[in-house]
C-alpha cells in the first residue's frame, strides 16, 4: 500500500514513523499593508488616541472581511494541492453546488476546536513503554467527542462559510489542534460529508478520518488503541493484519485510520461496521478496525476491514457509502 504523497511516509505498527518537519511561514503582508494604508494618511489633531485606535481596528476588520476567502486561501496557500492522490479543496469549494458528495474529500482551512465536555484526562491504566516505542497512540482523549468548525480564514469572526467538523474516535490528532484556547490551525482534513449528529440540525458536517497536514507539517498515519485494551496486548501484530487486509479487501491506497477498540467504541467509529460485527461475531471484544483509500481515490470509495484481535479472524469488511456489505467469516491471520 503506497502512500500517494511524496511528503508523507506511512506509520505502521511495529516501526516508528519518521518525519522531516518543515515549518512553512504564511505571509501576512496583505493584511498588514491594508492596515498601514488605512492608517498612514494625514491625521487630525482634534482626534483623540482612542478614536484613532478605533478607526484602525475598524479599517483592519473591513479589509479582512473584504477578501474573498477562496482567493485568499489559494493565493496564500502553502499546503499541497493534492494529498494521497486526492485534490485538496477549500471550504468555499464545498459550499458550491457544483461539488458532488464524494465518498472521500480532502479539505483545507483553519480549524477552530470546540471544548470537549466529559472527557477524562486520565484512564487509570498504566501505559506500557512499548506503546511509545512502537509509535502507537493510547491517549484516552483520542476516543473522546472532539468537534469544531473549519473556516476559510484565520479570523473566525469574519469567516463564512463555516463547516462543522467531527473527528472520528480513534483518529490521532496533534494535541495543539484540539485545544479550544489555541489559535486556529491551518489544516488539511480527509473525510466525508455527513449529517450532523445533532438531530435538530439539517446541516452537513465533515466526518474526519485523518488529519494529513497541519501548520505546515505533513502528518503520518498513527495507529491508536483504546487504553483499557492494553491489559492484554494488542495480541495481533501488524504483519498479520497487513496480510488479512491484502487478502480480504484487496490492494488499497493509503491507510486513513487504524484503531483497536471494543464493540461500544466501534459503534461511534463506524456504526455500520459495528452493526455488522454484532451480527457476525457477537463474542468479539477486541476489534481492529482499518479504513484505507482505494487504489484510485477519485474513483473508488475507501474500504474497511474488522479483525478480531483475540482470534485473528476477519469479522467484517465493507465499502464506505455502500449499503451492501461483503462479510467474511472464518478467515484468520494464520
Query: DSSP assignment of 60-125, as one string?
Result: HHHHHHTS-HHHHHHHT--S-SEETTEEEEEHHHHHSTT----SSEEEEEEEEEPP-TT--S--SS
**Structural domain range at position 255:** 224-319
Residue bearing the bigger pLDDT, 135 or 6: 135
270-326 pLDDT per residue, tens = 999 999 999 989 999 999 999 999 888 777 789 999 999 999 999 999 988 775 455
pTM for the model stands at: 0.73
Which range of 171-180, 240-249, 284-293 scores highest in mean pLDDT? It is 284-293
**147 and 267 share a domain?**
no
Q: Are residues 203 and 89 in the same domain?
A: yes
Contact 165, 208 (CB under 8 A): yes
Q: Are residues 214 and 228 in the same domain?
A: no
Which CATH number do you get for residue 293? 3.10.450
Predicted confidence band at 96 (pLDDT cuts at 50, 70, 90)? low
Q: Do 186 and 79 fall into the same domain?
A: yes
Which of 13, 41, 68 corresponds to the end of one domain?
68
Count CB-CB contacts under 10 A for residue 140: 17
Whether residue 112 is contained in a domain is answered as: yes
Q: Which cell numbers hold the place of 6?
A: 511524496
Nearest to 304 by CA among 255, 263, 237, 265: 255
Per-residue pLDDT at 62 exceeds 50? no
- Indicate if 213 and 237 belong to the same structural domain: no
The per-residue pLDDT of the chain, averaged, comes to 75
Domain count along the chain: 3
Amino acid at each position: 500500500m503506497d502512500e500517494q504523497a511524496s511528503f508523507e511516509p506511512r506509520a505502521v505498527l511495529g516501526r516508528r514513523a519518521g518525519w522531516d518537519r518543515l515549518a512553512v511561514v504564511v505571509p501576512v503582508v496583505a493584511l498588514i499593508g491594508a492596515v498601514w494604508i488605512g492608517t498612514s494618511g494625514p491625521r487630525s489633531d482634534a482626534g483623540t488616541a482612542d478614536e484613532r485606535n478605533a478607526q484602525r481596528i475598524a479599517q483592519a476588520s473591513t479589509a479582512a472581511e473584504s477578501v474573498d476567502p477562496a482567493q485568499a486561501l489559494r493565493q496564500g496557500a502553502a499546503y499541497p494541492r493534492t494529498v494521497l492522490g486526492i485534490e485538496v479543496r477549500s471550504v468555499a469549494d464545498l459550499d458550491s453546488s457544483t461539488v458532488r458528495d464524494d465518498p472521500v474529500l480532502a479539505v483545507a482551512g483553519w480549524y477552530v476546536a470546540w471544548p470537549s465536555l466529559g472527557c477524562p484526562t486520565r484512564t487509570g491504566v498504566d501505559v506500557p513503554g512499548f506503546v511509545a516505542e512502537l509509535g502507537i497512540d493510547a491517549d484516552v482523549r483520542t476516543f473522546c467527542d472532539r468537534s469544531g468548525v473549519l473556516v476559510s480564514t484565520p479570523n473566525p469572526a469574519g469567516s463564512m462559510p463555516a463547516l462543522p467538523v467531527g473527528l472520528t474516535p480513534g483518529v490521532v490528532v496533534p494535541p495543539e489542534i484540539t485545544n479550544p484556547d489555541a489559535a486556529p490551525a491551518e489544516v488539511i482534513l480527509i473525510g466525508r460529508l455527513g449529517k450532523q449528529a445533532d438531530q435538530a440540525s439539517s446541516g452537513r458536517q465533515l466526518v474526519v478520518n485523518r488529519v494529513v497536514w497541519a501548520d505546515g507539517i505533513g502528518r503520518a498515519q498513527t495507529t491508536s488503541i483504546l487504553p483499557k485494551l492494553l491489559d492484554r496486548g494488542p495480541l495481533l501484530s501488524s504483519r498479520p493484519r497487513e496480510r488479512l487486509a491484502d487478502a480480504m479487501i484487496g490492494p488499497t491506497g493509503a491507510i486513513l485510520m487504524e484503531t483497536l477498540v471494543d464493540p461500544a467504541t466501534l459503534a461511534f467509529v463506524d456504526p455500520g461496521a459495528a452493526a455488522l460485527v454484532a451480527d457476525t461475531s457477537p463474542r468479539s471484544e477486541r476489534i481492529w478496525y482499518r479504513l484505507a483509500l482505494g487504489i484510485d481515490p477519485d474513483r473508488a470509495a475507501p474500504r474497511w476491514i474488522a479483525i478480531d484481535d483475540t482470534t485473528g479472524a476477519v469479522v467484517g469488511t465493507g465499502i464506505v457509502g455502500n449499503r451492501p456489505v461483503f462479510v467474511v467469516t472464518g478467515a484468520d491471520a494464520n
